[in-house]
Structure 1
Amino acid sequence: MKIFARFGATVCLLSLLVCLAVTPLLGQGQLTQTLRGHVVDKESKFPLVGATVQLADKGVLTDTAGLFRLTGIPVGRHTVKVTLVGYKEMVLADVSLDAGREKILDIELEEEIRQLVAVTVQAQRTGEARNEMAVVSARQFSVEETNRYAGSRGEPARMASNFAGVQGADDSRNDIVIRGNSPQGVLWRVDGVSIPSPNHFAIAGTSGGPVSIINNRYLANSDFFTGAFPAEFGNTVAGAFDLKLRNGNNERHEKMVQFGFLGTEAMVEGPLSKSSKASYLATYRYANLWLFNKIGIDIGTQAVPTYQDGFFRFNFPLRNRRGESVGALALWALGGTSTVDILISEQEVKDRNIFGNNDRDQYYTARMGAAGLTYTRPLSPQTFWKATLAVSGNSQDANHNYLFLRRDGDRNPLVVNNRYVIDSLRPILDYRFSEMKYSLATFVNHKISARATLKVGLNTDLYRFRAFDSVRSFTDLSYTRFTPWRTRWNTNETFALVQPYVSFRHRLTENLTLTAGLNALWFTLNTRSVAPVEPRVGLSWELPARQKLSLAAGLHSQIQPLYTYFYAENPGSGSAAGPLANRTMGLTKSWHYVASYQRLLGRSIRLLLETYYQRLFNIPVEQAQSSFSMVNTGAAFSRIFPGPLVNTGTGRNYGLELTVEKFFSNHYYFLLTGSVFDAKYTGSDGVLRNTDFNGRYAFNALFSKEFVFRRSSLNLGFKYTTTGGRWYGPVDEAASRLNQEIIYQSASRNTLQFAPYKRFDLKVDYKMNRGAADRRGLTHTISVDLVNILGIQNLLSLSYAPQPDGSFIKQEYQLGFLPIFLYRVDF
């Protein structure tokens, strides 16, 4: 009945939106908008003068600053063509113009090897990475894409889970598993500098969280990498997000207001000075999820999380005394804070808490922020320089109070009115972690010729890490006596991470391109964390019939989660943390080998086939024989507490990935991705096992269709996904009871597998352009994202939850049906 009710509500919603869309708009003329932008050389970023930008029957030439403007363009979708003698022609299909916001394009043209009077038309291949050094396993994504995918919630990480070789860890978090690797191996960069996990309620040692702090409204087209990364990407063995920030509109003020389940937010942008073309852009979001509880929507806990986040960017174009452009200076910042109090003492026995433990009250606060100053300057028509100075940080603060329950004569908990009877609450855990990082990222890109480009750069991070953690546990299974307080972390240290690199790209022929590079990594915390040379190489061969064959290989390294270096081997009492057994851990290393075949089928369909092999080594495992390995961490709301770790673990991942994608054209889009893979590891006991993330297969099918009605449009999107289940093993009941958490038997770890994961999502977007032809318009957007519309129960994990019958193993399920709506106005 619930399924029929959901479909009934969906049909009613669609009927309402269609009725709105076909409502006659009497007495209103055609709405128009301005399309403008900037055309530069792809390598040197130097403005290109005299490029022709054409849209239907209108065309314009770029000026001496590479700028162009087309006015009076009807709202809707258009095709933009950009040409310049000596450069490859670019065609941008389905550029969308709305009444409430100008469209500003940043276009990069690639120089032809042979300087011809006329050049061959080459449409831009949607999805190809902006980074010219990437030849495989790289994908560009746009803001429009993040909004198009059903179930993505407008987040880059959830959107990326639709790509081949990528899968989400669970519904309650946006961690992503790339080719079987741990989510903690994913690198996040903004304007070239690495940042902490940009997520609310983040946990030390993870790269994800329940809700992203990143707002796609201030992103420019960005890149996502899944393997064999270019040399500029260090300190990662799994994947990388390279996020680009856009500037605000430098000619007119624009605003946006949005209300939805995930928060109320606002955005403003516009010129600081119309004469200097300086601009600003700022956003703010506040969310209190009480509405979910009020209407009975399951978000995995009865607690009410609150969070807020914001962003600003000020961009100042720079000119010399002659009025010529000499680059730009941008000041930007983003950050957020989140709080949740999970009070088990006030909940009913049946309540779910997949975000925490079920035997204690938990108070948790997390903060994350990053701010930077970015300087960009074309030094000449052949050379471009960029430098970013930034400071970033994150912190977590938690306190736990254990629930002592009243029990009957058989020692089973007493339950009255569906609630446990509480005898007392006693403190059991207190911890505070904080990390500050001061970063410099700089590079010079020099175009040696039309064939060759050299890029030299340096990424440097200075860390200051502070941590304090004090805990006590039970002395035996009577659950009446505590051990003394033990300090597991008490750290205040400073250290640095230095990563120089060099990349070279050479177009050997019109159709054959070679990329090569070297990366080095030096982590000053210990002498074992040094990688003096990490080679990267790639080869791309354009074949007849719009085919392309690519090969790439590279060595990659990564430091360990910072907090794991400072865990005390023998926790002391008071403020003494004891010896640090893990301080000398070295780098995790991985060789990546990738082969790729791509073919364009018709004008807008791409077939992509990739196969890969990854050999991981120097993985931290326990010194004593066990099944523990760092490859299984990074996808949970808890930290790890391993014994002394040594870099003797190994692993290997291999797989085959298929992508069939129709780029958005003729008002529809689809994406089919499938991957089969195998991810195994060995711990210190020498046994080859499945990693926790070895689902062995993943499949996604997405479809989006746009219906256009005069000034309105209706988009329907569907998504189906299925992956293999997570691995686990038999529970060690005695150890679990003593430690009050689920502990698996080490020898039989990952010998059992949960049932396959399945989910079906539906997304509806209705956009209305309003206003008169002679004044600025408004764009209204109503969006409903129905996540897991069938309410499929997918098993997530086992948790420790004492029950009235004396049992304590509880099956936790992924999120059920989750409707997410928003209403937005752009004006």
Structure 2
Amino acid sequence: MMKHYLTFQIFLLAFSLQAQDTITQTIRGKVIDTDGKYPLTGVTVLLAGEAEEGMTGTTTDLEGEFRLENVALGRHNLKFSFLGYKEVVLSNLMLTSSKELVLEVAMEELAISLADVEVRATRSGEAQNEMAMVSARAFTVEETDRYAGSRGDPARMASNFAGVQGADDSRNDIVIRGNAPGSVLWQLEGINIPNPNHFGASGTSGGPVNIINNKILANSDFYTGAFPAEFGNTVSGVFDLKFRKGNNEKHEQSFQLGFMGAELFLEGPVSEAKGSSFLVGYRYSSLQLFSALGIDVGTTAVPRYQDLAFKFNFPLKNNGNLSVFAVGGKSNIDILVSEESTEDRNLYGEKDRDQYFGSRMGVLGISYEKVLKNQTYMKATLAGSQERVQADHYYIVGRVKPDGFIDVQDLPAILGYNFTTNKYSQVLSFFKKIDNKNTLNYGFQNDIFGFNLTDSARQVNILPQNDPNAPLSFQSTPWVNRWNEDGTIAVLAQPYLQWKHKPSESLALVLGLHHQYFSLTDSWSPVEPRLGLNLKLDEIQSLNLGMGFHSQIQPAYTYFYKFNDPIRPDMGFQAFNRDMDFTRSKHLVLGYERALGNQVRMKWETYYQHLTRVPVENRPSSFSLLNSGASFNRIFPETGLVNEGTGENYGLELTLEKYYSKGYLFLITGSLFEARYQGSDKVWRDTEFNGNYALNFLGTREIQTRNGLIGIGTNITTAGGRRYGPVDVERTQEQQEIIYEDAGRNSLQFDPYFRMDLRVNYRINRKNLSHEIALDLINILNTRNILNLTWAPDELENPDPEKSIVPNYQLGFLPIFYYKVDF
């Protein structure tokens, strides 16, 4: 082992010393006013980094643009200073030989003169949205790559933050402060978008693989509660994503081949003279290839997916800009249990049927922005999107043979559905900078939905027989049509207004109002007040306060579900959920932040959230929509839903973060929390997501070589197990799927979740070319974490109920690798 290690080190050393010439690169960009969005002229830009000695700098020109050429490769800090503005420090910027570093930097004007205040710098990690006072964090594209176990996925990266759980290896759902993951809002370029994940099920916001590739993202914001008034239709959290602009001076390409897919990215100028640019990225799943080579991909049913994203940017005269953007993906998986042995491992699907599942999602938009007179900035966006989920199930009639495979006699269809939602969005927003103390932001977002939902199902029952060798006989129930909506139109309108006031440099106050109307149920949310406050106690510590009322409509498909209501059997099959109202939330957050030196910060936040008007069944039961949105399954309540449930979440969160310096960084987060709810039976219970605690440690060490970099990182996560309850054995055997006893729902808890990941990467820089090889060792200790319980009878007929209820485990040890070349 030691011999191989030394050989590897010698190889790296030799490879690094091949190029003796110093390779440099360019850093350039534009500096604008945070509120007015107009360019700032004369900003001083100073550069200092671990790859060089001393400092060098420049100033911005009349267009607010700056350029630093012949900069040594490696990590750098950029400091932006301008008379009358808060200093901005961008830390930990990685400069490689193959790509220019192009930045857009916003600076905030000081509330009082420089003579009265010591300037405090805005640093990396602070939210870009100036209206966000609490529970908000910016994240960079590089973070999604650098964090071990993140797999280049923004959602998995966010699970490292305080207050966020992601203890599910099969999906990237995130649980924010105990809230259901389906309530997370995804926003792209200011537009609310459908679930941006491959294999996304109805009513969820997560999936196994994110459609939005991190390589096309610009720096973005993530919110965990009490967010500004511009965000609505969520009671949980917000991903506010933005696409970066392509390089408008130089053509650059990137190709990557790895476990998650083959990727190609192209960017460059459309017209160098006009400063227009394009950025295009495409990915195709490579899991089939690796499975064919005998590499364990974690499941016998191999997912197939592909996605595409682009942004074209066109600067216009008189401070205007036009951009066209799009993202889309499609995915399929065939879970053929009839062709598997009992030893085959499959994380997805049920054990008594063959399943064919497919999903797709797409967004196409056009955005126009312009700096108007009187320090006013306007942005208008139009977009269309579609989300489709479809599936077909076939029941397996047959017996298990001695070799573990099934002797299939028949495959009768038992389920077929196609859920399609089309949406057309219009967003108009204005930022009015009244003076250096006051900023006004107002606008609206309208979404026009078109629903096309079809679903039919039936049951197949194996008939008893005396001869164990005779062919099986079965009986099918009549088909039941559960959804049949074609072309139903609905409008969700969301106007908002918010005002930021800075009476001094030590105090900032944001007041806002949000309102919502949903035409499908003819419902108005109450006017939702929002409040954010930041008080700087001194130059190293501050207090933050956030309060807000929030509302959210229900998963679209739940409004149209048809069933035979036992309370009103004379009505037959009816859609009784069309009158569901918004779920409402009141959120209070108090935070304390302190700098521990120049590169370390500590942050505490405590919160309380009260949820009302949560949909529950119209008969006494433990059912609540607060437990939904974390699986591939839809919900099927046995009665109509009414807005009479409640819930509450409260907890304490800690963040200790060291920004990158001296070759390493770390992030430690911890959460203690409670998440409870009441169903229509008025009994307080834990939600399914109430793990009570979560602890995460993330660290990265980087070693700079002459023209390259070696990185080693780890991620250690532990969290309380998911909740579940006693199994109703009789109904489970009857329905052939796990059904829990109603009275004992969530009274039990799985063992704590634990996972340790390790990441190793090596980057090699050459003239206008860079290579990177990376290996993520997911669950390196091969810890067996329980995902859920499943119904898995040893035989399809006459199963032993006790032995048929077995735990379904999450991913074991899984190596994920890629090779990337930028040129």
Q: TM-score, normalised by structure 2?
A: 0.94
Q: Deviations over 1:102-140 (max 9, x none)?
A: 001111111112233798453332211111111111010
Q: Shift of residue 394 of structure 1?
A: 0.8
Q: Shift of residue 669 of structure 1?
A: 0.4
CA RMSD of aligned residues (A): 1.9
**Which residue identity lines up with residue 691 of structure 2 in the other structure?**
G
Structure 2 distance, partners of 1:480, 1:274, is 70
Trace 1:340-489 onto structure 2 (pairs within 5 A).
Answer: 340-380=333-373, 382-406=375-399, 414-474=400-460, 480-489=474-483
1:548 to 515, 537, 542: 542
**Which residue identity lines up with residue 353 of structure 1 in the other structure?**
N
1:821 to 810, 817, 821: 817
Q: Deviations over 1:714-766 (max 9, x none)?
A: 11101110000011111111211222211101011111110000000000111
**Which residue identity lines up with residue 816 of structure 1 in the other structure?**
G
1:327 to 303, 317, 320: 320
Trace 1:38-77 onto structure 2 (pairs within 5 A).
Answer: 38-56=30-48, 57-77=55-75
Q: Shift of residue 415 of structure 1?
A: 2.1
**Which residue identity lines up with residue 633 of structure 1 in the other structure?**
S
Report if aligned partners of 2:89, 2:123 keep a CA contact under 8 Å in 1: no
Structure 2 counterpart of 1:685: 681
Structure 1 gap ranges (5+): 1-7, 320-324, 407-413, 772-776
**Which residue identity lines up with residue 467 of structure 1 in the other structure?**
L
Report if aligned partners of 1:21, 1:713 keep a CA contact under 8 Å in 2: no
Structure 2 counterpart of 1:521: 516
Distance 1:21 1:237, change over 3 A: farther
Structure 2 counterpart of 1:562: 556
Q: Deviations over 1:336-371 (max 9, x none)?
A: 010110000100012222211111000111110001
Q: Deviations over 1:487-537 (max 9, x none)?
A: 00000211010000001110122201111100001010113x311400001
Structure 2 distance, partners of 1:398, 1:18, is 53
**Which residue identity lines up with residue 455 of structure 1 in the other structure?**
N
Structure 1 counterpart of 2:470: none
Aligned residue for 2:772, secondary structure, equals strand
Report if aligned partners of 1:298, 1:816 keep a CA contact under 8 Å in 2: no
Q: Does 1:290 align with 2:282?
A: no
Structure 2 counterpart of 1:260: 258
Distance 1:262 1:17, change over 3 A: farther
Distance 1:213 1:12, change over 3 A: farther
Q: Does 1:539 align with 2:539?
A: no
Q: Shift of residue 578 of structure 1?
A: 3.4
Q: Deviations over 1:693-722 (max 9, x none)?
A: 000000000110110111011111011100
Structure 2 counterpart of 1:598: 593
Structure 2 distance, partners of 1:568, 1:541, is 52
Q: Which stretch of the first structure deviates more once superposed, 96-105 or 21-30?
A: 21-30
Report if aligned partners of 2:287, 2:297 keep a CA contact under 8 Å in 1: no
Q: Shift of residue 71 of structure 1?
A: 1.1
Report if aligned partners of 2:258, 2:286 keep a CA contact under 8 Å in 1: no
Q: Shift of residue 25 of structure 1?
A: 2.5
**Which residue identity lines up with residue 453 of structure 2 in the other structure?**
A
Q: Deviations over 1:244-297 (max 9, x none)?
A: 111100001000010000000100000000110110000000013124434555
Structure 2 gap ranges (5+): 49-54, 465-472
Structure 2 counterpart of 1:774: none
Report if aligned partners of 1:365, 1:397 keep a CA contact under 8 Å in 2: yes
Report if aligned partners of 2:647, 2:675 keep a CA contact under 8 Å in 1: yes
Structure 2 counterpart of 1:638: 633
Q: Which stretch of the first structure deviates more once superposed, 817-826 or 56-65?
A: 56-65
Structure 1 distance, partners of 2:278, 2:106, is 23
Report if aligned partners of 1:477, 1:737 keep a CA contact under 8 Å in 2: no
Q: Shift of residue 50 of structure 1?
A: 1.4
Q: Does 1:317 align with 2:315?
A: yes
Structure 1 distance, partners of 2:224, 2:450, is 29
Structure 1 counterpart of 2:704: 708
Structure 1 distance, partners of 2:539, 2:29, is 33
1:122 to 120, 123, 141: 120
Report if aligned partners of 2:112, 2:504 keep a CA contact under 8 Å in 1: no
Structure 2 distance, partners of 1:762, 1:191, is 33
Q: Shift of residue 22 of structure 1?
A: 5.5
Structure 2 distance, partners of 1:475, 1:577, is 24
The count of corresponding residues between Structure 1 and Structure 2 is 798
Aligned residue for 2:160, secondary structure, equals coil
Aligned residue for 1:50, secondary structure, equals coil
Q: Deviations over 1:462-505 (max 9, x none)?
A: 00011100000146885822210010000021101000000111
1:149 to 130, 142, 147: 147
Q: Which stretch of the first structure deviates more once superposed, 274-283 or 46-55?
A: 46-55
Structure 1 counterpart of 2:468: none
Q: Shift of residue 58 of structure 1?
A: 2.9
Structure 1 counterpart of 2:233: 235
Structure 2 counterpart of 1:659: 655
Report if aligned partners of 1:22, 1:709 keep a CA contact under 8 Å in 2: no
Q: Which stretch of the first structure deviates more once superposed, 69-78 or 591-600?
A: 69-78
Q: Does 1:202 align with 2:193?
A: no
Structure 2 distance, partners of 1:343, 1:690, is 36
Report if aligned partners of 1:302, 1:351 keep a CA contact under 8 Å in 2: yes
1:669 to 658, 665, 685: 665
**Which residue identity lines up with residue 703 of structure 2 in the other structure?**
F
Report if aligned partners of 2:167, 2:719 keep a CA contact under 8 Å in 1: no
Structure 1 distance, partners of 2:7, 2:329, is 38
Aligned residue for 2:285, secondary structure, equals strand
Distance 1:140 1:27, change over 3 A: closer
Structure 1 distance, partners of 2:18, 2:234, is 57
Structure 2 counterpart of 1:28: 20
Q: Deviations over 1:445-474 (max 9, x none)?
A: 011110111000101100001110000014
Q: Which stretch of the first structure deviates more once superposed, 70-79 or 228-237?
A: 70-79
Structure 2 distance, partners of 1:639, 1:662, is 42
Structure 2 counterpart of 1:411: none
Aligned residue for 2:557, secondary structure, equals helix
Q: Which stretch of the first structure deviates more once superposed, 390-399 or 115-124?
A: 115-124
Q: Shift of residue 156 of structure 1?
A: 0.6
Aligned residue for 2:435, secondary structure, equals coil
Structure 2 counterpart of 1:494: 489
Q: Deviations over 1:177-224 (max 9, x none)?
A: 000000001000001010000000110000000000011111111000
Aligned residue for 1:173, secondary structure, equals coil
Q: Does 1:139 align with 2:133?
A: no
Identity rate, percent: 52
Structure 2 counterpart of 1:108: 106
Aligned residue for 2:215, secondary structure, equals helix
Q: TM-score, normalised by structure 1?
A: 0.94
**Which residue identity lines up with residue 201 of structure 1 in the other structure?**
F
